[in-house]
Structures are given as structure tokens and as C-alpha cells.
Structure 1
Amino acid sequence: MKRLQISLIFLIIGSSFGEDMIVKTSKGPIMGLREDSSSNGYFYSFKGIRYAMPPVEDLRFKAPTELEPWTETVEAVEDGHICPQYDIANSIPLGDEDCLFLNVYTPKIDSKKRAVMVHIHGGAFILGGGVSHLFGPDYLMENDIVLVNFNYRLGALGFLTTKDTMETANNGIKDQIMALKWVKENIDKFGGDPNKVTIIGEDAGAASATILSMSPAAQGLFQGVIALSGNALCDQFIQNNPDEAAKELAARLECSSTDGKDIIECISRKTQQDIVEKSNSMMMFYTFPRWFAPNVDGDILPDRPENLLSNGQFSKVPIVLGQTKNGGAFYYRLTINSFNNGGYDDNFIDHKLPRLLPVMTNYNSKLYPITRSIRKRYFVNVDMENEDEFRPRYIEFLTDMLFTKCTDEFARAIANHSVPTYEYLFDYRGQYSIVNFQGEQVDMGVVHGDEMQYVFHNIWGEDFSMSPADLKFTKNIFTPLLSSFAKTSVPTLPTIDDINVSWSPRAPNKNRILKISNKLEMNEDYKKDILKFWNEDIQNILKSKKKLGKKGKDEL
């Protein structure tokens, strides 16, 4: 944010829009803009608002620090820096450690108190940012929602810790909590209701939202959760061995000590670029969990998520959660190319899959019996050298392993505590899919991340405009559905065309899922047999293998 003279502010605002957009936050006044929306309306934007002190120099690897107040009006018309990360496409580091900024968008600034949606961006805890060109507010503005996007620290700069330095753990999540505290304290000044806040995220953002629901430090900061394609029970989002990650990064940065405090001190002296580049050199994009991701620290995350859920130690606020129908397609080409040189044959399932499973799941012991069961479940009578036969079965396998299993597990766990739990399956295939931007030409279905284009405007960029059918689905079905939940804590289906469905919450022993597509329909037995396979059959194999292992008879 840049300081402007008040006269210049009024000149710009007066000549452009005929009114000033100065809001007095708890720390000082800021000036935003009135912007035209894609539907010929308008909204007010405030971009690049600091919500914490820059986490630089002595504040690196520290919890976010409260802002100092200011008196002069500060311009809030441009996105702040994104947090440091590695641009995989161009092989360069991006961002700046001075990155703890948020954006606020509001339909109007008046006495009305509107429902608030606080969006937590995804990106595997290593990529992304809450910036305007990725997450345009237009569709939510039309639904009279106040939207907040924000950045949080990523990768090693957000999640580096050791068993001896748990005070450095989960700084990325601590940033999220600080942003929510800012919302609680200030959002009423932007036409929002601080007591009607819903946190919404996809992928790592969805995992973050569910972690926040289990964090004592975030209690009372929100009243609803929307978790799109991810949660804290999915294997890819919790790092169980942060010590190993810290020591590996230390070695690559030529920090020779194995003492946790010495490691943190040594890495804190390295440049941002070195930390980002060496962290990236540790990565395979589909490696789960990430080297640097949320971990159990006894404070922000007091225990393993499954234990907290089982014991009822979480905020019992209403939740919407679900997945895309073909989410695993996001990892299709990545895994095939890396583990089998792009080939499709029996060698991949029988010999490469046992080595892939420990990379993508918490299955980390002798894995051939699991692989044989997977073959019987997913690949019977499949010509493994015919991609048209292999691809849909392999995508289904990835989807169930990475998303179906953990989504059902999380929904079942919270519903057992009588929490209003609305589960969905997103099955609308629009003009564009995220895999199209990975170079795929074939239709892989509804992929992980595809649903975001129907919440945020121009997520693919200005050159990729929405088709009329996609725009109709966005404005008539999906965005109103999520907005109604933010407003009332009950997702209300629009009464248009032939839609006449009631979205029933999940019962403790009843698997109720809303299929979201051109038509909406409830399903009470979605993948019942598949869930039994992962929750019972595979678990029985793991239990039996542990017994064999104790006798020294286990196999690779």
C-alpha cells in the first residue's frame, strides 16, 4: 500500500466515480475504489490491506504480529505481494516475504449487515495467493455477499518446524487466524456482519478451513465452513514428520547441525530465494503430504484430526463439503509420466503402484497385497495398454483414494456429533477444465479445482470467457447455493426451471449426497461398495500385515 496525499485521493475518486471510498479501520483509514462488475452493476474493492506486520527479518518463522496504527489515509487499490513460492511453469521464485495482505469486496457500504465469506486459497500449501485476478468477486457481489481474500505464508516460510521448535509450527495457519481476527474486528465497517462469517476454501484452502474448525485459537471467529475438494483427513494435507522435512531442507541449505533450534536459526539467515529454491528442489508435486504443511503442534492443532473429530473437539458449526466427480484426473499425467514414463501396462500396476502408494498416501509398509486388491477392484478386464480403457479406471482409483474416502470419513465423523453436514458431489462439466491448461486434449470429466470457476469470476483469465450455459449454471445454481448457506447456515436450492430438490443434511448412519450438475438430485448410497473397500477391506489388509510384520514374514 502506498501513502497518498488526501487531495490526490479526492481528485482521483471524484473524477472517476464521484464519491470517495474511505473507510476507517481499527488501525487507520484506507481508501478503496468503486469498480464495475461483469453484470453491469458495481461493487467496492479494498485491496492490499495489511492485516499483520511484515514477517521479515526478526519476524521470519514467528507468529504474525499485530499491526501498528496509522493516521494518514492509505491507498488500498492494488493487490499486495503474494507470499514467496516457486513458479513451476517458468522455473523461477516469486513473491515477497512482506505478503500478509487481504482484499475486501462489498456490494455496498451502508447500515445493512451482510453475510461474509472469507476465502482461503488453495495450492497445496506451496502455491497461490488471494489476489483479484485469480478470484474475482463479481458473482458473489450479485448475491449480496461481502468477500474477503487474503495471503498466508506458504512452504517452508509458513510451515517449517522441528520437534524442538514447535513454536515455529503452523505459521501459515496462524496467519489465517490473524486474518479472521481482522475480519471480526473490521468487517462491519464494510457492510459485513462479524457474526455471520463463513470460511470457504478449495484443496489446501479446504483443508485449512477444517483445521481452523479444530483449532482452539480460531474458536468463535466464524459460523460456517465450506470445504471444496479437501479436508484435514485427506492424506495430502497433514505433515506427520516435520522434523525430517526440516533436516532435509537444512542439509540442502548447508546448515550442518541436527539440533532443531540451530536448524531454525541457520535457515533464518538464508535468503528468501535460497529457501524457496531449495524447498522446491525437495518437491514432487503429487508427493503427499507436502514436505511443508500443517502439523500437530499441540497448540494450533492440538492432536491428530481424526482424534479431535472422534472426541468432539472442534467447532460444531454447519458445514458444506464435497468433491468433484473425477478429482483424481488432476494427478493422472503427473503420476503416469513420473513413475512409468507415460506408459500404460501391467508393469505400472504390479511394480510401480506399490512405490507410488507411499508417496500419495499414508500407506508406507509392504504394499503388494494392497496393490493386488486395487487391481481386482479397479482393473479387472481392462486392457492396460489401451489408454482409453486404462485412463477412466485409473482416474476413478485416484479419485477414490485421494478424495472419496476422506470426504466420507470427515462427513461421517462430524455428523456423528449432530453437526449440520451437507455433502455434495460436483458433476457439472463446463467448457473449460483445469487439465486443459495442463495440455490435455481429451475430456477427463470434472477435475479437482474445476468448481472454482463457478464461484470466482475470470479464474482462467480475461481471454477465457464463460459460455452462456456455464454462466447460467454459475448464476442460477452454484453461487446462489453457496451464498444461501453463508446467509442462513442452510443451503437453499434455487426454485427455477425443474429444480425441486431438498438438500438433506447427513445423518450419523445415512450417507446423503447432493449431486450438483445441470440437474440436482440426492443420492443416499454413493459409492457404498467403494467406501467399504477403502474403509474395511484395505484396513483389514493393513492390520493383518502388521501382524505378519511382527513375525518377520511381511513382504515388500
Structure 2
Amino acid sequence: MGRRAGKTSGVGDVVVLAALLGLAGGVVVPTTYGEVNGVELPTSFIGGAVFDRIYTFKGIPYAAPPVGDLRWRPPQDPAGWTGVRDAAQFGARCPQVVEMPFPPGSPLYELSGPFRSNSSSEDCLFLNVYTPNVASTADLPVMVWLHGGGLAIGSADTYPAEIPTSLNNVVMVTINYRLGNLGFLPTRDAETDGNVALMDMAKALQWVQANIRNFGGDPDRVTIFGQSGGAWGVSLLVMSPETRGLYRRAISQSGVAGLGASRRGDTAKTENLAASLNCPMDSFDDMMSCLRSKPAHDLLELDAPVPIVGGSFLPDADDLWDIMYKKQVNEVDYLLGTMDGEFSYGLLAAVPQVTADGLDRTVFEEILPAQLNFIAAQFPDGNVDNIVQPVIDQYMNPDSDDPIYTRDRFIQLMTDYRFTATTVLMAQAVAAHDTARVYQYEFQHHTTSVSPERPPYAKADHGDDLFYMFGIPLLRDDTGASWKYSFTQEERDLSLDMMAYWVNFAANGDPSDFTGAARMRDLVTWPRYMTSSQSYLKLDVTSSADVKIRESNMKFWNEEVPRLMGKDVIAVGDDFVVSTTHGDVRGSEFLTSSVVGNALFDRVFTFKGIPYAAPPVGDLRWRPPQDPAGWTGVRDVTEFGARCPQVEYPLPHPIYGEVLGSGGIASSEDCLFLNVYTPNVSDTANLPVMVWIHGGAWYFGSSSTYPAEIPTSLNNVVMVTINYRLGNLGFLPTLDDDAPGNFGLLDAIKALEWVQSNIQNFGGDPDRVTIFGESAGGWSVSLLVMSPMATGLFHRAISQSGVAGVPVAQKGDITLTQNLALSLNCSTDSYDDMMSCLRGLPSEDFLTLMAWPVVIDGRFLLQSPWDLMNHKFINRVDYLLGTNNDEVGYELAAEFPFIDADGMTRAEFESNLPFLLQQVVDQYLVGSVDMILQPAIDQYLDPDMADDPIYLRDQFKQLLMDAFFTSQTVMMAKTEAGMLAVAWEASSRVYQYELQHRASVFSFRPPYVGVDHGDDLFFLFGLPLLRDDKGSNWKYSFTQEERDLSLDMMAYWVNFATNGDPNDSTGAARMRDMVNWPRFMTSSQSYLKLDVTSSADVKLRESNMKFWNEEVPRLMGKHVHSNRASHGTRETSCSLSVLAFTFLVFYLLA
């Protein structure tokens, strides 16, 4: 586009700097709304100016006047004009409630008085452009300045952008935006919600995108920057999805939006204002019409403006803190920082109790609650009273009453909480994006020449950076012969350094990169802020780098205070990037110090939703798991992946939600994810690894339901939890040679292969992997112990309340699959067509209750589980396994209405038993229930007690528990313990337990119930150690003995995973004085009675175990082997009762 020279008169007294020398001419530039005539400004009054002249264009309208019906509306395009619009004068300031006068002759005057427009008006949406080069090919970086003033006062004309523009290769733009109530009044308009000031800023950036090239700027290198309230505006724009693409980089100086916010639709403030102005309240439209008719000055208040979250401009969140906490920010380069004494002079004037003589300790404690008003605004649902004493404890030495000390600590406290803490929180949020480059600073130079009357204890005060950023130390007097103010040469250099850092960042995204700069300076290298190192620059006449600015204070304000104010603080803080075979992943921290009582580590690192296999969808449904697709860049793994498709199961009691609730996690066939929890991400940590396989009868459940953060925070261990395919999608028999079933178990193997390849990068030792699981997870563990495909993938195993006494099918028996296909209208005439039809149906069609057998496929499983145990044809591993003492006491028994406090009848006992014993028969693939029915009755019923309903009830439960849980556990223990050692391997170490403590939180259960199925989960996952939301009390009413039992149980488990012996605490993070757990040998059969006072015993219910493990198999025609090792194989036929297994599938809940 062309430009034409023009003449202009001087701009008069409004622009003092220009008036010093007189103006020599002008220049005309076209914009989308018409041409503008700017001013050519000589720069001899600026010491060290690179350019002898720059061009200024002032008062350019970027939006229509927001008056009349446009008040509180989104900014509209301005009216175009014909001819050339004069752009030599500033436009009007936006209406504001107070002015900020400074004495003539002071440097502050240069930043206020002589530059300001003489008037204010609602017709104020103007911007100003300063450029050293108006060529459309110049492609200079662009910096758009948002003025300060708490979003309530200030204007663009206050800041002499002529100076930095004359010293650097940069185009600068300064803008006005609506202020106070005119910029932030909540409305019910869907298009605005009340954030019209932020929309003004976005509108100005749209203007920049459309026009700045004509002024020499590069629209692809736009940086927004601001100080104080302007820095708030910058941070709010970084939070807004509506501003993506309008800028590339951002700078916040002394302010990140840690201020109050309203929720969309909350118009209480607007209604209060309307009432005070006698506007009608019956109709919201009438009320707004009335308010729009009022003079602007009637609407101005001193109250801090309040942005609105959850509407059309800012993300949906409870407040601004949540947005930063959840990292709902744009992926842009960000430079941000604070002064080291933000509250040491100017803002401190609002606290007259602080004097040169200090601050009395008693007065400090009296005024503190009122000074914490910003916290109350940040967290409106909290109570400031909750944090007053913690603040005192954080900042004050209880033994000091020194008023000077108290004053200095008060200044530090106010600086940290009002400025530095939110700056660090925002740095963390943006740095979590892998491509965003973040740089933090603290300005530490105390400028005595700015305000000689300042007391010596004042540090770098709020706003001092503006003098250096806008080059005030470089101003010469009106002859251009000497410096105008008494800044030192070091301070003039500091001003040049600060401008160079800022412009380098705007140009290249790196403040130390001088590519394209107009002037080279010997600057200290500014290290990039990473979420782990948290490097920052101490900006001073002699700058230096450091890390983790006031780390303890930052953790206090960003972690402890939000929690005390009612926030669910789980993972504020560092994010960490770890490499895997498929790509890098970024996790987050779980802060444990206030959430978990007795935590050894104040944080653990969590990596959630890591894909270990490709989505098993389409043709991969009912196929072995395949490698996932790799990715470039860094994958965010701070949220759980989807659960595998399942039917929702109602929780029996709210406390179960802590370990069994889905937590709102969606279900999808793309569900093959795992999660890693570690206290140490060093690849040399070599911690033991425990891989959790969840329960749920292979019917429901997911890895996301178990709070592994808690045991990880209490022990030296890496924990991994995995998803696997469930139900029909995980266990449907097929005719495929490579995998005729067992898909959920093949998923577990795939996850273990991932662990072997990657866990060292997460601090784990791949040579010390323990698999553990409960209920159906215990089944899976035992089947992996039996599978040759799993050999070498783990070294120890733990089965809780479940060993694989499950139904089996022979390879090729697809009766269940055909029945399912027919029920879904898929033809069974052709196997391929049938499977193609089934693979084309939605996953929801397969969420039916069926019996899912383990297939003897010749690869994963060579024989039935019973035969493998009987022949001792299993992997040689250390094994810890056990049960609870009343597995069928409450949740499973709830499905039998005849079991109650009054007991049951003999007829009920005998009539229900055959149905349940069918499950036992199905393990052997031969025989019938009739063969074992009467022997079972004889084993469990004393003829002299056979009519006692209480006795009958208790024996019925005992029979079911022994048949389905304890006997299989004992058989597996004897099998593994009977494995003979070979020359290169030690014999397996086996440990058995029975949990015998009924938790006090289950007082709602009837008194005859003991330790029910799943109760062990509460102790293993540390629920008794959870604190309430204030961190001051225990969350649940577990006793101290129960908290100790939880610690003991975790210690036994982790010791076993570490050393193969639950008593060996070598390498443990915590030593506990625990009862010695004897090793299970085939002869002694020792076990531990796990209780608040544990003890050892031998041969758990010996007579019953012999009945189920020796007598019943013989009655079924099986040959029971001795304890000698055997490696034979045996083919058998399939006989499966779907009806009987349905019971176990549906009622094994955990």
C-alpha cells in the first residue's frame, strides 16, 4: 500500500517530548477504516537513540464509541472515514473514578501528566502506534501495551512509547479499554457476559492483525504486555480461548489475574448498582435500559472490577485460580515477573500503621485479616479465618516482637501473596505446554533517584520497572546536552538491558536472542523457566540467575492456602516430562503433605492415561493388543484415560467411592491405558515396581478407581495401575489361532511388556516387578503366574481374595460366541461373517451379563487352572496371597434375602447350595453337583446344630467363602511353595494371610458380618490415612489402631515387592515394628492373621481345605498329585454352566 508525505502543525503541549524540538513533518498510512496522518518525531532528546526519528500515530479508533445501546456490548467496528484522519493527538481517556496526579518535574510526571489527554469520554476506544519504520516490508516485532490501574483507572497516553521505540527495532502499540463498571459489569447477554473490557483488548488485537503491517509491523510476531492491572489483562487474554491467534507472546509485569471473579449469570452487582440509581428491577431488560441511559460518572465506583468466568470469553471454571490450576491457558511464549518489594512504598501507603519505626506485632495480627481481602476474592467459597494463623506461622518467628522485623515480614507477605505467588502459578500453567517458552524475573534494583523521600527499607516498588521499561533514565534535558534526571550510568544501562530483553523476547521468543536487534548488548543469559527447575532472572544493575523463588512461600500460597480455602488441591506444582518408547509424556505432582497423614514424601509424580496398546477397535476388536501409535512432542498425561466399556454398578455406600467410584471417567473401547505413580523420576532410583490389576469380576472397574497416590506417598515404591478389556469385549471365545480368547489377560501381558521397556525412566526397577490384584484382579494375577507367555515379565505376585478357580473352555468351543451373535441378529452360518457382523456393532451391545471362560488356547493357558496347579506347571515366582475372614459376609450375601440377622432355615441352606456348587464343578470340566452336594453338607453341618438358623447362616457363608476363595488360595500357595528349586533359581517364597479386622467405619453392617470382600482395599490404599479438606483432621472415623494397620499392611506388601519377604524392610522408606510373618511351607502351612494385633498360625481351616482341595477333586474323578513337581499336560473337554458362573460374575464386586 502506498504512503504520501504530509505536513502537520506541532502537537502542542500535550506531547512534551515532541514539543522540545518541534515537529518536522508527518506521514500518511492507510488502515482498513481510512488513512491516518501521523507525526515524524526527532529523537535527539533520547540518549543513545538508535533511530534519529520515529513515527507516531495517536488516537486511531479501533472500535465504535461504546455509548447508548452499545454500552456493555461487545466492541463494534468503527465508522470509516474519507480523506485523511489526523492522528497527532491522543484520543479521550475512558471514564474513571480517580486521577493519579504526580508532582511536575518528577520522573513519575513523565508517566502521567504531560502526556495525558485533556478529557475523558465513553468514546475512548483508541490506540496509538509508534514505529521506527513505516515500510510494509519491515516486518518488525510488535508489542501491544495494556496500561495499568487495576482495570479501573489509567490510559494509553500515560506511557512514552516514543523512547523504547527509538532505541529498539520494534513497533509499539498502546491502547485504551473500558474501565471499572463500564468494562466489567455482569449482564445476561450471551454475547458478552460482562467482560467487555477484555473484548476491547481483543478487538484492538484484531485491528493490529489487520493493519500493523502498514506501520512496519509483523502480524505474526505480536506480543501483548502490561503492568499491574494491564498485566492482569494480559493474563486474562492468555486464559481466553477467544484470543488464540491474535498474539504470539505475552509479558506480565507485576500482576497475574489472581483476583476475584463472578460466575456467568451472577448479576447481583449489577442489580445493586441499578437499585442505588433508582432503576426498575422488575425486568432485567428494563433495568439495563435504565442503566444505559445514566451518565457515565454515575456508574463509576472504587470497587475492583470482577471478570466473569464460564461465559463466552473466559473458560468454564469456578474462578480464575481454577483456570490456572487446570492449565486452561493458551500455548504462547510468556515472560512474567515481579518487583522484590511490590508493597514496600506506594501500595504500602494504604496501611498507615507501617512506619519507619516498624510495625507492632499485635497491630500486625489485628490488621492481617483485612489485608487478606484478595484471598477472599480469589476463593469466594472459602473462609479467610482459616488462613490467618497459617499465614502468621509461615511468615513470623514466634519468638520475635521486633517491629522492624515485623514490618519487613509484612511487606514480604504482601508482595508474595498479591503478586509473586500468582506469577509462579501462571508460569507453571503455561510452561506445562511443551512448545511454550516461559521466562520469569524478579526486579531487584532500588531506584533512589525516582523518589528521594522514600524510606531506606523500601525495595523495588510496584511500578518502578516502568521507568526502565519506558527508558526514563535515557531522557536528556531540553537542550539534549545532559541527562534530565539523576539516574546513574548503571541505571541507564539497566534500562537499556531491560528494553533489550523485552524486545528480544518479542522478536524471537528468547530474551537472550539478539537476532534482528538494532543494538547488541552484553547481557547475562536468561535461563528458560521449566516446571522442574523453575529458573528465574534477578534483574538488577548486575543481573544473575537463580531457581525456585522463595520456594516455601510459593508452595504455601499456591498449594496450602487454596486447600485451606476449600480447593481440591491434587496436583499443583511441577510437571515432569519422561521419555517412553512411544514418545515423551508430561505428568504432574500430587501434593501429599496435607492430604495424606504420615506421608513420607511431600509429593509424588503421577502420569495418567499413558497408552500401552493401540485402541482395540474395528478389526482389532477381539485381537491381541498391538503397539500404540507413537507421537511427536510431549503428550499430556495429567488426566485418566477412558475406562473400558462396562455396565455401571451402584456403590453400596459412599465410602466405597474413595476406591470404587468412576470419578466421572468416560467409557470407550479406546481404553488400553495405564497410570504410573512414583516418588522419584530419576532413572537411577531403581525402586520396586507394583503393577495393580483391578477387580470387578472381569465385568466392571478401571485403573482410575484406586488412589495409588496414597500408598506411593507412604512407601519407596513405583505403582502402576492398568485398564484391560472387560466382559464380552475381553473374554469372548473365537476361532482365531493367535488369540482364541483371553484378550483381557493378553492386555495385562502387553502392559507388563510396556513396564519392562519403560519403567526405569519413571524411577522403577524392571527386575523387581510385582503384580498384584484383588478379586478378579487376583484371578488375573494367578493366571499370569500360570501362563508361559508371562514368564520373565514379573518376579513376584500378590493375590488378594481371588485365585483362578474360574470356568474354562477348550480352544474352538465358541458356543457362547454363537449364542451372543444370534441374540444380536448376526448370522452364524459363516464364522468370518459372524465375526465381521459382531465387530461392526457398537460396544454398548456387548454389555450383557454372561459367563466369560478362560480359554485353554495352548499359548496363554496350556491346561485348566486346576490342572496347572495340580501338576505344578506354573511360573516360579515369590507369591503373597490371602483372603478376608468373611468374604461372603455382606456385599455378596446381600443377594440372598434369606441371609439376615435371624439366620436361615435348613431348607434354604440345602435348596440354594446346588446352584452355587455348580461353579465348583465347572473348574474340573467333569462330574456333576450331585457328586459333592451331600459331602459338602456333611462337611459343614453338625447334625446336632442343623436346625439352628444362626448356625446355618454362618456355615452357609463359611462354605461359600472356603469353596470360592480360601481353598483355591491355599491350593495355589501349596503349588508355588512346592515348586522345586533348580540349579540357577531359588525356590519360591510364599506367604499367606487372612485379614481378620472389621473396620470401624462399617458400623452400618449387621454385627455378624466380619471382614467382607473388598475391605482390604481400604487398608492397602491408605484410606485411614486420608485427612479432611483442611488437613487438620482425619477424613473418616478409622481408629488409630486402624491407621497403624493400614501402614502395616502397606509395609508388608512393599517389603515383599522389594525383597521377596514381607518382614525384610531393607530399602524401605519407613521402619515399622511388625509381627514376623512366617513363610508358608507345604508342611507347616503357616499364615498371618492380619489384624490390629497380628499373630501367626498354621493350617488355616485344615479340615475344610483338605475337603475342597483333595476330597472334592477325587469325588469328581480327578487324580490329586502330591507336592512333587510335575510338568505333564492334559487335554480335557469343556462342560460349562453359564447359569452358575453368572452368580460369581455378578456378585464379586471389588
Same fold (TM over 0.5): yes
- Choose 117-126 or 102-111, whichever is displaced more: 102-111
RMSD: 3.6
Mark the runs of 5 or more structure 2 residues left unpaired by the alignment. 11-21, 102-117, 478-483, 567-1027, 1036-1150
In the other structure, the counterpart of 2:236 is 211
1:70 aligns with 2:81: yes
Secondary structure of 1:183's counterpart equals helix
Distance 1:172 1:367 in 2: 29
Which deviations, in whole Å up to 9, do the C-alpha atoms of 1:67-122 show, x marking residues without a partner? 222221111001100000022568xx972101011110101222321111011111
Which deviations, in whole Å up to 9, do the C-alpha atoms of 1:246-301 show, x marking residues without a partner? 2332232222517543432221111112122xx23xx3xxxxxx2x2322152111
Distance 1:303 1:369, change over 3 A: closer
* Aligned pairs (5 A) from 1:210-229: 210-229=235-254
In the other structure, the counterpart of 1:34 is 40
Q: For 1:151, which of 176, 181, 194 is the aligned residue?
A: 176
* Aligned pairs (5 A) from 1:505-516: 505-516=528-539
1:480 aligns with 2:494: no
1:174 aligns with 2:199: yes
Q: For 2:309, which of 293, 296, 308 is the aligned residue?
A: 296
Q: For 2:153, which of 127, 136, 140 is the aligned residue?
A: 127
1:398 aligns with 2:414: yes
Structure 2 residue identity aligned to 1:469: Q
In the other structure, the counterpart of 2:296 is 272
Distance 1:335 1:191, change over 3 A: same
1:201 aligns with 2:212: no
1:431 aligns with 2:457: no
In the other structure, the counterpart of 2:462 is 448
Q: For 1:83, which of 94, 102, 114 is the aligned residue?
A: 94
Distance 1:134 1:273, change over 3 A: same
Q: How much does 1:135 deviate? A: 3.1
Q: How much does 1:358 deviate? A: 3.4
In the other structure, the counterpart of 1:372 is 389
Kindly indicate whether structure 1 or structure 2 has the higher relative contact order, using CA contacts under 8 Å at least 6 residues apart: 1
User: Are the aligned partners of 1:32 and 1:46 in contact in 2 as well (CA < 8 Å)?
Assistant: yes
Secondary structure of 1:329's counterpart equals coil
In the other structure, the counterpart of 1:138 is 163
Q: How much does 1:309 deviate? A: 4.6
In the other structure, the counterpart of 1:257 is 281
Distance 1:258 1:314, change over 3 A: farther
Which deviations, in whole Å up to 9, do the C-alpha atoms of 1:8-64 show, x marking residues without a partner? x63749xx7665401111211111111122236211111111111111122211111
User: Are the aligned partners of 1:166 and 1:297 in contact in 2 as well (CA < 8 Å)?
Assistant: no
Q: What is the identity percentage for the equivalent residue pairs of Structure 1 and Structure 2?
A: 28
Distance 2:476 2:67 in 1: 34
Distance 1:379 1:487 in 2: 44
Q: For 1:422, which of 412, 429, 439 is the aligned residue?
A: 439
In the other structure, the counterpart of 1:3 is none
Q: How much does 1:148 deviate? A: 0.3
In the other structure, the counterpart of 1:22 is 28
Structure 1 residue identity aligned to 2:493: F
Which deviations, in whole Å up to 9, do the C-alpha atoms of 1:467-526 show, x marking residues without a partner? 133652344311001010111111117899996643222223221111111122211232
Q: TM-score, normalised by structure 2?
A: 0.42
User: Are the aligned partners of 2:8 and 2:39 in contact in 1 as well (CA < 8 Å)?
Assistant: no
Mark the runs of 5 or more structure 1 residues left unpaired by the alignment. 1-5, 284-289, 552-556
Q: How much does 1:422 deviate? A: 0.8
In the other structure, the counterpart of 1:467 is 487
Distance 2:9 2:160 in 1: 25
1:10 aligns with 2:30: no
Distance 1:209 1:180, change over 3 A: same
Which deviations, in whole Å up to 9, do the C-alpha atoms of 1:383-419 show, x marking residues without a partner? 6573x33321110010111112111111112212222
* Aligned pairs (5 A) from 1:92-107: 95-107=120-132
- Choose 421-430 or 76-85, whichever is displaced more: 421-430
User: Are the aligned partners of 1:339 and 1:356 in contact in 2 as well (CA < 8 Å)?
Assistant: no
Distance 1:94 1:43 in 2: 26
Q: How much does 1:334 deviate? A: 4.4
Q: How much does 1:191 deviate? A: 0.9
Structure 2 residue identity aligned to 1:406: T
User: Are the aligned partners of 1:454 and 1:478 in contact in 2 as well (CA < 8 Å)?
Assistant: yes
Structure 1 residue identity aligned to 2:76: T
In the other structure, the counterpart of 1:113 is 139
Distance 1:370 1:359, change over 3 A: same
User: Are the aligned partners of 1:326 and 1:396 in contact in 2 as well (CA < 8 Å)?
Assistant: yes
Distance 1:497 1:420, change over 3 A: closer
Q: How much does 1:380 deviate? A: 1.8
User: Are the aligned partners of 1:134 and 1:459 in contact in 2 as well (CA < 8 Å)?
Assistant: no
Secondary structure of 1:85's counterpart equals coil
Q: For 1:529, which of 552, 571, 575 is the aligned residue?
A: 552
Q: How much does 1:532 deviate? A: 2.6
Distance 1:344 1:409, change over 3 A: same
Greater Rg by CA: 2
In the other structure, the counterpart of 1:554 is none
Distance 1:467 1:444, change over 3 A: same
Distance 1:541 1:200, change over 3 A: closer
